[in-house]
Amino acid sequence: MHTLSIATSFLVFGLCTLAAPTIRVEPESIDFGTVKAGEKAEKTVTVYNDGDAPLIVLRGKATCGCTSIDVPEGEDASIAPGGSAQMPVRFDATGRAGKQSAIVAITTNDPGRPAVTVNVSAFVETLTMLRPPNGLLWQQAARGGEIRRTVVIVPGDATKEIELIDVTSDRPALTPTAANVTRNGQHMIDVKFALAKDAPLGALDATVTARVRVAGEETTVTIPARGMVVGDVLVSPMEIDASRAAIKRGERIGEILVRAGRGGRAPDIGGLETAGPVRAELEPVRGEDLRKIVVSAALDAPAGPCGATVIIMTSGTDQPIVDVPVYFEVARDVSV
């Protein structure tokens, strides 16, 4: 009798330990089809518990900001054996164009499949698309000249024609010009940009607005523009960041190149000063269109992260003095 009681206890214990939730999600993929730009769409996935213990929904997350899932919380996060719960999946086409894809991950207490994924796809239909989608971004450009970057406006449907009505800028320092062109059989609008001769030096943020017509339908395209305006001196890089790897004292950190803002003979370097534990020396180069400054860590630079500034005196009229920040890390001494 005693032996039978022990065997029964082990059997009951074994059955209890085998009890576990089992997740099943339907559908395993969602296609929102064609969604117009700026609109939102919603579909539902159903989470089933095919196990014999409560399934606890812990969280849901998507790989793209265009997609989200609402998972139950509190007591509703527990799905009884044989039960199910519906969860809405939302797609936001704002700021999107063309084919879109994302993965939604649902995390639960299922020991066999702690995370289940649902593939999400959609095609965002838009009247126009901007290439590059983030607009006009440039590092440095001299005032009074053209920016060596362009932006293209194309129809959302490549088979349709696109026509420019007008293009304007909210900043007089930035002048856009646009033209209808055809490349590889596709109609598009090529937008170029120039800086005014009296454009203020420093960072420039502007918004360019283009009115276009696609297959008879008129729309407005907003082009963000951002970059640095320089004068007759072009310095690159604008800062040196070599802090990813430690260097030794006296070792070379990087170099600064000085050119004329509008091309031609580079400005003369009248002097170099430093603020912080660095050395700056002018290195000879071939030709007259470039000046090179080598920046090294000072021999007495302290160990650890360091910051300094290289001050360049030039013969330029617009920028007789240019400051270049330098960030680096000096290797610590090893003692035995």
Integer Cα distance of 114 and 128 in angstroms: 42
Q: Residue type for 237, please?
A: P
Q: How many CA atoms lie within 13 A of 278 on its CB side?
A: 31
Question: Following DSSP, what letter does each residue of 147-180 receive, concatenated?
Answer: -S--EEEEESSTTS-EEEEEEEESSTTEEEEEEE
Contact status, residue 148 vs residue 173, Cβ threshold 8 Å: no
Tokens representing residue 265 in the block:
């003979």
SS3 content of the chain, % helix, strand, coil (to 5): 5, 60, 35
Residue pLDDT tens, the chain, 336 long = 455 454 454 444 444 457 999 999 999 999 999 998 889 999 999 999 999 999 999 999 999 999 999 999 998 899 999 999 999 999 999 878 788 999 999 999 999 999 999 999 999 888 898 999 899 999 999 999 999 999 999 998 888 899 999 999 999 999 999 999 998 888 899 999 999 999 999 999 999 999 999 988 999 999 999 999 999 999 999 999 999 999 999 999 999 999 998 888 999 999 999 999 999 999 999 889 999 999 999 999 999 999 999 999 999 998 899 999 999 999 987 554
Tokens representing residue 242 in the block:
């070599």
Strands 240-247, 321-330: pairing is parallel
Integer Cα distance of 334 and 336 in angstroms: 7
Q: How far is CA 280 from CA 141, 215, 238, 311, in A?
A: 25, 59, 15, 9
**What pTM does this model have?**
0.62
Q: How far is CA 262 from CA 35, 174, 230, 237, 265, in A?
A: 46, 17, 10, 17, 9
Tokens representing residue 313 in the block:
């005196």
